[in-house]
Structure 1
Amino acid sequence: MDIAAMRASFAKAAATGDEAPLYFYSHLFLSHPETRAMFPVSMAHQRDRFFHALGEVVSHVDDLEGLVPILKQLGYDHRKFGTLPAHYPAVLPSLLATLEHFDDEWDEHRARTWTEAYGLVASVMIQGAEESADHPATWRAEVVAHERRSVDVAVLRVRPEVPVDYLAGQSLSLEIDRRPRLWRYYSPANAPRDDGTLDVHVKARPGGPVSTALVRSVEVGDLMRLGPPLGDLTLGEGSDRDLLLVAGGMGLAPLEALVDQVRRQGPARRVDLFVGARTEDQLYDRAALDALQQACPWLSVRYAVSDDGLSDLEQGDVGDVVLRHGPWLSREVFVAGPAPMVEQTVHGLLQHGVPRERLRSEVFAPSRPGPSAEGKVTE
């Protein structure tokens, strides 16, 4: 497999922005019209998803040991769309046609390389789907509480008909009846409960059809479907180190779930949670966090604001504030939030001396396709 050639041809297609995915889906729907029903009516938020996922594969293709579990998870996740093994061959001709169209150096060698790579990806994803056949493809769930925390943030409590087996810190995709076939990923803000309920934190994004509906239109009693859990922003088996958790924006939800896991399952440990925002009024879950800190003597919660000179809270980017309160060399570290915040915080902690193997991070950003090696979508 010529990895350099793969990356070169993919880079040319990716550089065209929306043109390559538009070409791909047009080719796919013309050649296999039966696949159109698997996608939303409007493709505006969908077109970049396949190419983003493909980019993840290309960037990690030289690490098959790490890539295989991701592909198996994707295969399981794709069951929610009704994807069958017979659907995978339909994608390859459209993929090759798209790459050839945007690559002036396309030749038989690159075609063979991509055919081999796609065959591997498809076989592993099919294997993941088959291995998960005993688990549900989706879970039906009901909204049992809906609380607006601000103009654009809401916290929903949902109850699946059958409890979802997930780990604190993982994410679940959801589809609401008001927005069919538009799946978006959210991390429950709690560890699994006996009653199976999940708390979902949602921020309405400009132009975001799902997040806007979840915040402003969805009501108690509404139904949704949940997809299988994904992601590895989780406490490892046997983990007992003290924790450093750094959150920005909606990245707070999975870190709250980790706190909840420690509170209800142990083992006992020190947990320091830093929450960053531009302004104090964006700290939407502050009251709940303050109450949790009062109830848990092992938990310390600190807030940082980067653009609010009138606030009495600590000033500065949350990553810089974290370093002021170090050292953190003995901690297991989790960072979640917007890309610039995650990148700055991770870089600072590594420079600070935190071992890379004890630092996990995940980007929460609008218009991303889901949890992967790099990040997850919040709209």
Structure 2
Amino acid sequence: MSLTADRPNTSAPERGRAERGRTQRLRSGLRGLLDAAVTPLTVDDVLDHFAPLRPAATGLRGRIVSVEPETADAATIVIKPGRDWAGHIPGQYVRVGVDVDGVRLWRTYSLTHGPRPDGHLSITVKAIPEGRVSQHLVRSARPGQMLQLAQAEGDFVLPQPRPGHRIPLLLLTAGSGITPVIGMLRNLFSRADAAAMGEAYDIVLVHSAMSRDEVIFGAELRAHAAAGRLRLIERHTDTDGLLTTDDLLAEVPDLDERLAYACGPAGLLDTLEAFYADRHLTLHTERFRPTVIAGDAEGGTVTFSGSSTSSAERAIEAEGDVPLLDAAESAGVLMPSGCRMGICMGCVLPLTSGAVRDLRNGEITVAVPGETDPAGVPIQTCISAAAGECRIDH
């Protein structure tokens, strides 16, 4: 006769699933009690307040660690990211959400660092006239301030060298266009195998700024040049004038043999792209504004309707070559935004009547009441301009 008590004939996997089910029910019940205790908030709201950088926080966030001046108009913002930060490749950019006067505005900045032992991020911002976010970050941001972050994006990155193969590079930058490139250089020259990296790349850097004092990271770039890590060609427009393609050919006669990267103002990039296209060469560019084509600049009256504006309706006059997003913000209309270059879809609003023109290709989008969708036609306000009178549901 067996002395073992009868028990259900369940397998170990079945018992494990049952135990996990009981644990999940217990957690769910406890979560419900805690949520009820902090109503109208939730437990996540409370945790986000006390531990905003935790992995489960609502949206990826970062805390400003320091604001370090670079020039009279530029500063490096060092940020401790939340634990959900997935890392980046030097040369990539990050979208940053900043609360300015109670309004969250998003802008895009290059990451200006290589590997950091502390795990922090850095962006370097140049304050531009009338730039609400750039002026705030350079002039007013302080350690401890919280920011919203997106994950790193972009393909403006260097190729990995093959063993025994040296890659000739030409880096063309102007103004704050040096920011993605400094991240690349810091990655190369701060590594344990920095000497090997120096042998793997033959780097020529052509950088233009208004004056010597306005060269962001000037001392660091000159130190790299003095150490023989790269050849630095500085162009100061207050004394040297604007860089031309003839200047470039004279300074870098072997440019046809170099892998080229460029970042800077739109005018410079437009010129370089045309120059490289004429020579049937490839140029990798990084832009933080869309390429705007020439075309009909009719413009018109844009009416914003909806509860998000300061009144039931707001009408502004918009030029035909100015993005609706910029025109609206200049007039004091609070607008959703993101990358500001037609990628992230963070600025989309419905066009309910009238016409707008895509500044990248000239295409016209029309909304006709009674014919198109009653909810409107979604448009990206950062790359669309008024093409006559139009109405947007805000």
Output the TM-score relative to the length of structure 2. Answer: 0.53
Counterpart mapping for 1:1-379 below 5 A: 138-162=59-83, 163-178=85-100, 180-238=103-161, 241-263=167-189, 264=191, 266=197, 268-295=200-227, 297-306=228-237, 308-309=238-239, 315-317=241-243, 319-325=245-251, 326-351=253-278, 353=279, 355-356=281-282, 359-365=283-289, 369-370=340-341, 372=343
Q: Deviations over 1:254-291 (max 9, x none)?
A: 01112223323637211111111233332232122212
Cα distance change of structure 1 residues 135 and 276 upon mapping to structure 2, 3 Å threshold: farther
Write the distance in 2 (CA, Å) between the matches of 1:250 and 1:319: 20
SS at match of 2:220: helix
Cα distance change of structure 1 residues 305 and 354 upon mapping to structure 2, 3 Å threshold: farther
Cα distance change of structure 1 residues 237 and 280 upon mapping to structure 2, 3 Å threshold: closer
Give yes or no for contact 2:99–2:105 (8 Å, CA) kept in 1. Answer: no
Please state how far the C-alpha of 1:230 moved relative to its aligned partner: 1.6
Please state how far the C-alpha of 1:305 moved relative to its aligned partner: 2.2
Write the distance in 2 (CA, Å) between the matches of 1:362 and 1:323: 21
Amino acid paired to 2:132: P
Q: Comparing both chains, which one has the higher relative contact order based on Cα–Cα distances under 8 Å and sequence gaps of 6 or more?
A: 1
Give yes or no for contact 2:178–2:216 (8 Å, CA) kept in 1. Answer: no
Write the distance in 2 (CA, Å) between the matches of 1:341 and 1:137: 40
Give yes or no for contact 2:95–2:108 (8 Å, CA) kept in 1. Answer: yes
Amino acid paired to 1:165: G
Write the distance in 1 (CA, Å) between the matches of 2:216 and 2:82: 29
Cα distance change of structure 1 residues 156 and 371 upon mapping to structure 2, 3 Å threshold: farther
Write the distance in 2 (CA, Å) between the matches of 1:136 and 1:248: 38
Structure that is richer in strand per residue: 2
Structure that is richer in helix per residue: 1
Please state how far the C-alpha of 1:149 moved relative to its aligned partner: 2.8
Amino acid paired to 1:329: D
Give yes or no for contact 1:328–1:354 (8 Å, CA) kept in 2. Answer: no
Output the TM-score relative to the length of structure 1. Answer: 0.54
SS at match of 1:290: helix
Write the distance in 1 (CA, Å) between the matches of 2:208 and 2:274: 16
Cα distance change of structure 1 residues 335 and 354 upon mapping to structure 2, 3 Å threshold: farther
Give yes or no for contact 2:171–2:262 (8 Å, CA) kept in 1. Answer: yes
Write the distance in 1 (CA, Å) between the matches of 2:260 and 2:230: 15
Write the distance in 1 (CA, Å) between the matches of 2:229 and 2:277: 25
SS at match of 2:255: coil
Query: Which consecutive residues of structure 1, in runs of 5 or more, have no partner in the other structure?
Result: 1-133
Amino acid paired to 1:304: R
Amino acid paired to 2:60: W
Q: Deviations over 1:159-188 (max 9, x none)?
A: 213344211111100113446431110001
Cα distance change of structure 1 residues 208 and 287 upon mapping to structure 2, 3 Å threshold: same
SS at match of 1:143: strand
Give yes or no for contact 1:231–1:371 (8 Å, CA) kept in 2. Answer: no
Please state how far the C-alpha of 1:319 moved relative to its aligned partner: 4.6
Write the distance in 1 (CA, Å) between the matches of 2:58 and 2:260: 32
Amino acid paired to 2:232: V
Write the distance in 2 (CA, Å) between the matches of 1:277 and 1:160: 31
Cα distance change of structure 1 residues 188 and 320 upon mapping to structure 2, 3 Å threshold: farther
Partner of 1:75: none
Cα distance change of structure 1 residues 189 and 171 upon mapping to structure 2, 3 Å threshold: same
Write the distance in 2 (CA, Å) between the matches of 1:202 and 1:160: 17
Q: Deviations over 1:144-164 (max 9, x none)?
A: 221223332112122213344
- Find the structure with the greater CA-based Rg: 2
Write the distance in 2 (CA, Å) between the matches of 1:277 and 1:365: 19
Partner of 1:51: none
Give yes or no for contact 1:231–1:372 (8 Å, CA) kept in 2. Answer: no
Write the distance in 2 (CA, Å) between the matches of 1:336 and 1:349: 14
RMSD: 3.1
Please state how far the C-alpha of 1:246 moved relative to its aligned partner: 0.5
SS at match of 1:148: strand
Amino acid paired to 1:251: G
